[in-house]
Structure 1
Amino acid sequence: MKKEQECWDVWVELGPSGFRTFKDPRFARFESESVLPYLPQATSPSLLGKVHVSRTYLNPNPPWPPFCLKRPATRQRTPPRRSSLLLPPSSRFLSVAGRRPLHHQPASVAARTQNGLAWGRPRAAGPGAAAARRAAGPGDGFPSFLPKEVEKIKDPFARRLAQKIERVPVPVQIESSDGWVMSSCVKPSIRSNNNPVVLLHCFDSSCLEWRHAYPLLEEAGLEVWAVDVLGWGFSDLEKRPPCGVSSKRHHLYQLWKTHIRRPMVLVGPSLGAAAAIDFAVNHSEAVEKLVLINGCVYEEGTGQLAKVPKLVAYAGVSLLKSIPLRLYANMLAFKGISLATCFDWTNVGRLHCLLPWWKDASVSFMRSGGYNVVDQIKEVKQKVLIVYGEHDRIITKKLQVRLHCELPSAIIRQVPDCGHLLHVEKPNAIANLIADFVQGSNC
């Protein structure tokens, strides 16, 4: 590498989590782990772990360190326009807005500094400002890719978690060729010495299921990812990738391989338990432990629905997002919630159904045959925690005991006075059980 290097502007953004991402798959993203080693004196200790750079490069595997920031020699009330970012001239860094070299940016977005870091544009202050800036969407800082109906949701925990959702690039197979999907997830705001916890969700749902338990898990000091299974949630599926079981498994593996990269504690509620078992058996190196919550693991796929004509399949799928059906499902899933709460949680549960590709993804899953993991259960080698609700009217206690018998080394726990979605209804109980299991105690 040449000793003399061309100086470029740097666009640094402070926020609790996440990076600005791009639809163009040629662009790679920085990771927070690669940021911090180069910032030993660039920011106060309270901001370490909260720094990310909205910057991309065309070469995803550069032979040099990604970047190097230096603290300005003197603190100035009027920040300089250019920070000391030293990069090879051939790296062709581009800006976020317009994808032009940053030294060509107009004065209105000239870099500013705070705590020695350069900023790309004037910013609002306050704890929610980072999420609002990152989302760049309407109303309360929600991401722009969420349906506008998100603004009608009243549950404050759902609103708060929705503001944290972002999309990250994940390689997938699209029409027999390699492609990319911008996958929705909530990324961890802390890094833990324990392996990360990855939260899946139920059938035809989203990561918003974890709205009540997610903050409790982070308060327990866990590194938590809440991810959307391919075909559900808020990922960008405009290219209509296949969303069958094998595609969902491959997508989750690529997300793990690209972004998580450490053995994880995989948590699956309801049908998510079947997805977790399927993944753990096929990719055992990626899973350290399993948590199965009211696991729906004895269903034999979608059965005869896999053989129905497409026209009939689309008609049936259309019913899945209807408010009466979703309302009835919530009344079965929860124990003793008010009608007003049931309506609001119905709106949360069907929010992803309002995306334009939801029908195609649902039909793709239905016609693929669905999850059938009955024969895979005994192949599970990981440590397992089985949790079920005392008053679950969807999955019976008898099936949970059967699962425990087939996994004799597993731990089984009952949560009293609770229905099917105990991570929504009893978040404290499930957060404590997961935290104890992750940290090695006997729950």
Structure 2
Amino acid sequence: MEELNQFLAKYPDVKGVDIVMTDCHGIGRGKTIRRHELESLYESGRAMPTSLFGQDVAGDDVDCSLVLHDGGGDKRCWPVPGTLGLQPHSGRGVVLVSMYNADGTPFNADPRAVLVRQVEAANKAGYSPMGAFELEFYLIDKERDANGRYQPARYLLSGRRSRNRNTMAVDELDEMSPLFEMIYAGAEHLGIPMESVISEYAVGQYELTIRYRDLLRAADDVILAKRLIRSVARRFGVEACFMAKPFGQEAGSGMHLHLSLNDEGGSNLYADQPCGELSPLMLQSIGGIRKTVGDTALILAPFLNSWRRFASAVYSPASDTWGFENRTVALRVPDGSAQTRHFEHRVAGVDANAYLVAAVTLAGAMQGIREETDPGPAVEGNGYSKEHVADLPTSWKGAIDRFEQSAFMQEVFGQCLHESFVAIKRAELQRLELDISEAEWDLYGFVV
């Protein structure tokens, strides 16, 4: 209530507030309420249907235990502390909400609750998970090219259309500066510790980084940041695209997760040993993730398009490799201060659900610590070399099958969400298998 009262006093002119619950795809579902309704949200919650977690990415119900089998009832959603803020570009407020059972326990099919369970288990073992995400995305023009295909956005200041990658070009950022300045202004009001922006490895591709903090808040940051970026982009006549591979011949977009564990006093347990060697705890964590990454592939690459990102080896490591200061591996230990040591999980696409990516990564790390898993030798040189063969699915369908059969994923997700997620992904797979693309017509329609 203190957070609510501070918001109302600070923003007396705000009339509407978006309340956003994150579904299993990372999509915000909820309502826009009026100012006078906000107090009741904090006092008594807001009812929403559990079936929202049983929908496919298009919002269609899938036949699973979350849809109608329980009568289609509602559960109460409550505000996520620290997420109430102003979206200055729209004039509306926003707050994340999470679903709870009548007894006050988190509803186990809510993706945020999946991460909460893993964080609480880590806390119980004496660890405080810390993390930060990097978001890669494209800005897309509302005008299609001569072939009717989507294309990168024109520069906002000059109106020119770039044909060059201009990787890490500062002038590229200046050309789009009005948009990014509005994003940073929104991030400040929303409490998102947004930091550097760069032009990435493709025309129209950018990366925003978010400051390191406790893992649960870091995942909240991603949910708020993606909505903010999308909403601001629309105000400039462009669209922010968080597909993993929007352009077949260009770089895919990842969502790299940086992770470490603190002790109860806030000291980094991944810090190097006094002798200069890497922390055994961090190495065991990497070993645990290597052991489980194949089971988590469907979370890291949840859609058909996600797997197109792995078709090119350009900074998209679909593997279980690890190494020191090596961007061709899946788990990279960056160079830097011995006291701030951590590792970077580079496999997930930016289309993945941040809560679930954080949950499966932390769960794998904790399993590695419990079992004292040896990570094996670090890769030196090219991690894309054929000599590094990993036990990973090679297709979206294979990832669905692997996820369904995984005892590890059943434990992390719980029975209800695990079974429902499989049903949702199989329905989505069938939907796309029945859709005949223009490319198929062009290749086969009047030739074979």
Bin the TM-score by the shorter chain.
under 0.3
Structure 1-normalised TM-score?
Answer: 0.25
Rg: which structure is higher?
A: 1
Structure with bigger RCO (C-alpha 8 Å, 6+ apart) = 2
